[in-house]
Amino acid sequence: LQHTQKFVYDFTEGNRDLKDLLGGKGANLAEMTNLGLPVPPGFTITTEACKVYLDSGDEPAELRDEVSAHLDTLQQTMGKKLGQADDPLLVSVRSGAKFSMPGMMDTVLNIGLSDASVTGLAKQSGDERFAWDSYRRLIQMFGKTVLGVDGELFEEALEDAKAAKKVSVDTDLDASDLKKLVKQFKKIVKAEAGRDFPQDPREQMDLAICSVFESWNTDRAKLYRRQERIPGDLGTAVNICSMVFGNLGPDSGTGVAFTRDPASGHQGVYGDYLQNAQGEDVVAGIRNTVPLADLEGIDKKSYDQLMGIMETLENHYKDLCDIEFTIERGQLWMLQTRVGKRTAGAAFRIATQLVDQGLIDEAEALQRVNGAQLAQLMFPRFDEAAKSDLIGRGIAASPGAAVGKAVFDSYTAVKWSRSGEKVILIRRETNPDDLDGMIASEGILTSRGGKTSHAAVVARGMGKTCVCGAEELEVDTKRRRMTTQAGTVIEEGDVVSIDGSTGKVYLGEVPVVPSPVVEYFEGRMHAGADDADELVAAVHRVMAYADRVRRLRVRANADNAEDALRARRFGAQGIGLCRTEHMFLGERREMVERLILADTDDEREGALSALLPLQKKDFVELFEAMDGLPVTVRLLDPPLHEFLPDITELSVRVALAESRKDANENDLRLLQAVHKLHEQNPMLGLRGVRLGLVIPGLFAMQVRAIAEAAAERKNAKGDPRAEIMIPLVGTVQELEIVREEADTVIAEVEAATGTELKLTIGTMIELPRAALTAGQIAEAAQFFSFGTNDLTQTVWGFSRDDVEASFFTAYLEKGIFGVSPFETIDKDGVGSLVRSAVEAGRATRPDLKLGVCGEHGGDPESVHFFHEVGLDYVSCSPFRIPVARLEAGRAAA
Ligand code: PEP
Ligand code: MG
């Protein structure tokens, strides 16, 4: 690090583009300051300083001096000194990383209060109670977060003080009660932390800064980052901001606001306000807030000013913003803003609303939504017509329909979900310690807190269903039960259903129905006026933006006409993978068995000619469903044992029969064949093109079926566009042999039917050797389709069928990868083979058609990669086609 590096920025020096350095909060405080909005003065310590601290265990040498210089400026601006006895400047010390991590890291308010300055604050504010309340809050927060004292101890002392006075809310404690409480809090600190609460304000500040740095690496912060895929090495910035007070009486207060409804996207007044309170009271949901609209009646001047600021912010950021503000004796202060989190549905609505307002263009609108959100909108919902037992209603905090067994603590949630149970985590309110329980649950239900409570914010971020603030439900975590207003008791393990779109809570399992977005893609719903249709209209428009700009085409992995038709409705532009083995299941399995068992040419030909008409019929149907669009038919791929009985079962059957002396000839032959074909590593054995090369006539039969089906469709005036694909090729010689045979068959069919078929022949690239020799293989292939499932398996040496259940959890926990490489393409390894094979293939054959048909074809992040390396199309399961279309559009926009 250079010595000239600047570690501290005044709010007037930064801007919103400096999020890497100043964190989201710091960058936006600077932006608001420079917009001329009322932000309390302050400065930000950079993430670079945090990184140095975390690497070396010590603050960078220059940091203290820089902080001193900025503190001096701040003191001059404010006309008072930090902790000054007769009129103290107080500051907050808040964390603020590049990506928001709600409640994950430390914050300490009221720094600068001490035994000396508390009286100064009392005099200056004219409010003794307020001064002592602020002081007890400082000791409590500082004790808990900086000195590591168990927070419960302070809570209990506070509860005891209220109980002793027979009052229920903390505002009923007066100055002398709070004075006593401060004494007690200091005793707790001394006993638990082994030191006195620091009276030197600068020492308070420095310790708080280091504690914020350290909070970057707490377990819960790490867990949150892993979940949200936030890199672990970014560090947090620290914001030092002069305090303003929302707890100075009824003309003070604090609140949160959204410039639009984060659940529906509608414009209006959304937020919560809490009179006579500090910020943490709102976020923790400790006292019940009033709707923001009520502020108009409480303090019209501040309300009007806030509305004006919200409009300024929306127009400036051109997006939904969320805001934290405080009113100190009628003076409004902005404490934070950021582009706000929103539900999936709101993301689509807001994107189109902003286009209509002329604030953003279509390309930008595409960046405001993503495939994961679209996938979420395609989840089923509760069936409103179904009989259901409504037991309560809360706030619709994060949409979705979740059903599971009631659990009342995080530990049980995790334990039960590990053993395969679906659970709903029910709490009075959640806090950051509940994070792993929330992750493990289908949904979250709380009885307290609003749309901005911890539960709501975190659940929305995770895309989890959440109902919060269901006050009529009484949650008793100690006794692991919940009681409804009608007196019904729900015990741990009872099934409940929660609807995060309506806020309704039901006892028992409520059946689910498809989402309106799916109904729309299926062509069963069109844009209209009611609420669901407004969402559909927004999705419809955004999909049109994506389709207009995307370069990648999107095909489906489909093996039958029904799937093909659905895929077409969802926007598929062809079939990228028809797995013909799926056509040999059920009754046809025995025909394949006959083929495998055949000893003579006659027997083999008999089996093949029985299969031929069935295959042909499959293809006719498929080509008809996809008329006019390409259909890639892959010749038989799986190891043959998949068509034969299980070796153990068959051995037992034969042994039993032999002991009864009635073993049948066929079973004996079958057992022999099963033994012969048994492989230790079937996925690396006799499969793919190898089958075609050792079982005479198999691929020829399939090619004939394809060719005859295409001819039949042509004669019926159809437009079949079949492509024949050879799996698991490792060397060009394999492909050459198969091609020669295929070309002969095709020529025969063309001659016999008098039609020109224009079939193309290509290969999958799914073995490292194929990728490495792609230049040679392209000489014999008219197209490549990357089989990234097998390619991932063979590049990593991971069994695709086993590893996700065995050691992947450990790998994910250790951060070896953030997501399974079978889900999102491993760009550095597997991806680099794809990239070089694309280049080599195109060098040999410039018009080589390139696609991907592994699972990655429908994964948002992977789609961007395939766009970037220049594939022509991605192919994925029908249900994921809309997501792939959207992401292909986003990649190109
Ligand atoms: C692949 O390997 O990526 C592929 C699409 O083929 P399959 O999954 O059928 O092996
Ligand atoms: Mg494969």
Mean pLDDT of the 130-147 span: 95
Atom 6 in ligand 1: residue holding the nearest Cα: 787
| 241 is an active site residue | no
pTM of the complete model: 0.81
788 in Cβ contact with 820 (< 8 Å): no
Percent residues over pLDDT 90 in the chain: 74
Residues 319 and 464 in one domain: no
Atom 3 in ligand 1: residue holding the nearest Cα: 787
CA distances from 289 to 159, 253, 254, 263, 500 (A): 21, 11, 10, 18, 20
- Mean pLDDT over each residue of the chain, to the nearest integer: 92
Q: What is the CATH number of the domain that holds 419?
A: 3.50.30.10
Ligand 1 centre to CA of 753 (Å) is 33
- Three-state DSSP at 111 gives strand
Q: How does pLDDT run across 306-352, given as a tens digit for each residue?
A: 999 999 999 999 999 999 999 999 999 999 999 988 888 999 999 99
Ligand 1 centre to CA of 729 (Å) is 12
Instruction: Supply the pLDDT for residue 452.
Output: 63
Which class for 528: exposed (0-12), middle (13-18), buried (19 or more C-beta within 10 A)? exposed
Q: How does pLDDT run across 407-455, given as a tens digit for each residue?
A: 999 999 999 999 999 999 999 988 877 888 998 999 999 998 776 677 8
Residue 200 has phi, psi (to 5 degrees) of -80, 115
Residues 64 and 207 in one domain: yes
DSSP code at position 796: H
Was 662 annotated as part of a binding site?
no
Q: Which-ligand-closest: CA of 852? A: 1
In a domain, 666, yes or no: no
460 in Cβ contact with 398 (< 8 Å): yes
- Three-state DSSP at 281 gives helix
Mean pLDDT of the 155-183 span: 92
Residues 832 and 773 in one domain: yes
CA-766 nearest atom, ligand 1: 2
Was 788 annotated as part of a binding site?
yes
503 Cβ below 6 A of ligand 1? no
Was 634 annotated as part of a binding site?
yes
800 Cβ below 6 A of ligand 1? no
Contacts of 234 (CB under 8 A, 6+ apart): 20, 47, 97, 98, 99
Tell me the range of 370-384, 524-538, 801-815 where mean pLDDT is highest: 370-384
The C-alpha atoms of residue 400 and residue 792 are separated, in whole angstroms, by: 33
In a domain, 827, yes or no: yes
Mean pLDDT of the 174-200 span: 96
Residues 301 and 212 in one domain: no
Residues 580 and 527 in one domain: no
577 Cβ below 6 A of ligand 1? yes
Residue 468 has phi, psi (to 5 degrees) of -125, 170
Burial letters 328-339, b for 16+ CB under 10 A, else e: beeebbbbbbbb
Which class for 892: exposed (0-12), middle (13-18), buried (19 or more C-beta within 10 A)? middle
CA distances from 378 to 401, 504, 880 (A): 12, 20, 10
190 Cβ below 6 A of ligand 1? no
Closest CA to 426 of 548, 462, 416: 416
CB atoms within 10 A of CB 624: 18
The C-alpha atoms of residue 552 and residue 519 are separated, in whole angstroms, by: 25
In a domain, 690, yes or no: yes
In a domain, 429, yes or no: yes
CA-789 nearest atom, ligand 1: 3
| 220-229, 241-250, 290-299, 801-810, range with the lowest pLDDT | 801-810
Q: What is the CATH number of the domain that holds 303?
A: 3.30.470.20
In a domain, 223, yes or no: yes
Residues 359 and 392 in one domain: no
Residues 365 and 399 in one domain: no
Residues 450 and 436 in one domain: yes
Global ipTM:
0.99
CA-788 nearest atom, ligand 1: 3
- Best residue for ligand 1 mutational test, from 853, 855, 859, 874 (most atoms within 8 Å of Cβ): 853
787 Cβ below 6 A of ligand 1? yes
Which class for 454: exposed (0-12), middle (13-18), buried (19 or more C-beta within 10 A)? buried
| 116-130, 355-369, 653-667, range with the lowest pLDDT | 653-667
Instruction: Supply the pLDDT for residue 2.
Output: 47
Mean pLDDT of the 186-194 span: 97
Residue 437 has phi, psi (to 5 degrees) of -65, -40
CB atoms within 10 A of CB 680: 6
Instruction: Supply the pLDDT for residue 71.
Output: 97
CA distances from 461 to 99, 283, 409, 575, 726 (A): 12, 16, 20, 35, 43
Atom 8 in ligand 1: residue holding the nearest Cα: 789
Domain residues for 445? 379-513
Q: How does pLDDT run across 11-55, given as a tens digit for each residue?
A: 999 999 999 999 999 999 999 999 999 999 999 999 999 999 999
Q: How does pLDDT run across 567-624, given as a tens digit for each residue?
A: 999 999 999 999 998 888 777 888 888 898 888 999 999 999 999 999 999 999 999 9
Instruction: Supply the pLDDT for residue 1.
Output: 46
Beta-sheet strands, E only, within 531-629: 553-557, 575-579
Catalytic residue among 641, 853, 856, 867: 853
Instruction: Supply the pLDDT for residue 852.
Output: 98
Residue with tokens 């929330």: 438
Q: What is the CATH number of the domain that holds 91?
A: 3.30.1490.20
- Dihedral angle, C-alpha 792, 794, 796, 797, nearest 10 °: 140
589 Cβ below 6 A of ligand 1? no
The C-alpha atoms of residue 893 and residue 886 are separated, in whole angstroms, by: 10
Q: How does pLDDT run across 239-295, given as a tens digit for each residue?
A: 999 999 998 889 999 999 999 988 888 888 899 999 988 877 765 556 678 999 999
Ligand 2 centre to CA of 630 (Å) is 20
Ligand 2 centre to CA of 214 (Å) is 46
Q: Which tokens in the block code for residue 18?
A: 């400096």
Number of domains in the chain: 5
Was 789 annotated as part of a binding site?
yes
Residues 105 and 142 in one domain: yes
Ligand 1 centre to CA of 352 (Å) is 37
Residues 627 and 754 in one domain: yes
Q: How does pLDDT run across 504-515, given as a tens digit for each residue?
A: 999 999 998 888
Ligand 1 centre to CA of 889 (Å) is 25
238 in Cβ contact with 122 (< 8 Å): no
Residue 808 has phi, psi (to 5 degrees) of -65, -35
The C-alpha atoms of residue 383 and residue 386 are separated, in whole angstroms, by: 5
Q: How does pLDDT run across 842-872, given as a tens digit for each residue?
A: 999 999 999 999 989 999 999 999 999 999 9
Pairing verdict, β 553-557 and 575-579: parallel
Q: What is the CATH number of the domain that holds 728?
A: 3.20.20.60
| 468 is an active site residue | no
851 Cβ below 6 A of ligand 1? no
The C-alpha atoms of residue 399 and residue 459 are separated, in whole angstroms, by: 9
CA distances from 856 to 516, 518, 826, 837, 864 (A): 26, 22, 10, 17, 11
CA-786 nearest atom, ligand 1: 3
Is pLDDT of 463 > 80?
Answer: no
766 Cβ below 6 A of ligand 1? yes
Percent residues over pLDDT 70 in the chain: 97
Alpha helices (runs of H) in 555-600, residue ranges in sequence order: 561-569, 589-597
Residue with tokens 């007044």: 269
Was 766 annotated as part of a binding site?
yes
Long-range contacts of 308-313 (CB under 8 A, 24+ apart): 309/37, 309/334, 310/257, 310/259, 311/259, 312/35, 312/37, 313/32, 313/37, 313/259, 313/337
Q: Which tokens in the block code for residue 342?
A: 């929103």
602 in Cβ contact with 653 (< 8 Å): no
**How far, in whole angstroms, is CA 479 from its chain's centroid?**
33
**How far, in whole angstroms, is CA 260 from its chain's centroid?**
22
Is pLDDT of 813 > 70?
Answer: no
Closest CA to 350 of 368, 367, 373: 368
Mean pLDDT of the 758-766 span: 98
The C-alpha atoms of residue 594 and residue 353 are separated, in whole angstroms, by: 62
In a domain, 663, yes or no: no
Is pLDDT of 237 > 70?
Answer: yes
The C-alpha atoms of residue 29 and residue 42 are separated, in whole angstroms, by: 9
Catalytic residue among 50, 70, 321, 454: 454
Mean pLDDT of the 674-687 span: 90
In a domain, 20, yes or no: no
For the chain, report the end-to-end CA distance as a whole number of angstroms.
37
Residues 322 and 294 in one domain: yes
In a domain, 258, yes or no: yes
Residues 832 and 878 in one domain: yes
Is pLDDT of 367 > 60?
Answer: yes
776 Cβ below 6 A of ligand 1? no
Pairing verdict, β 873-876 and 849-852: parallel
Ligand 2 centre to CA of 793 (Å) is 9
559 Cβ below 6 A of ligand 1? no
372 in Cβ contact with 395 (< 8 Å): no
842 vs 169: which has the higher pLDDT: 842
Mean pLDDT of the 123-150 span: 94
Q: How does pLDDT run across 747-756, given as a tens digit for each residue?
A: 999 999 999 9
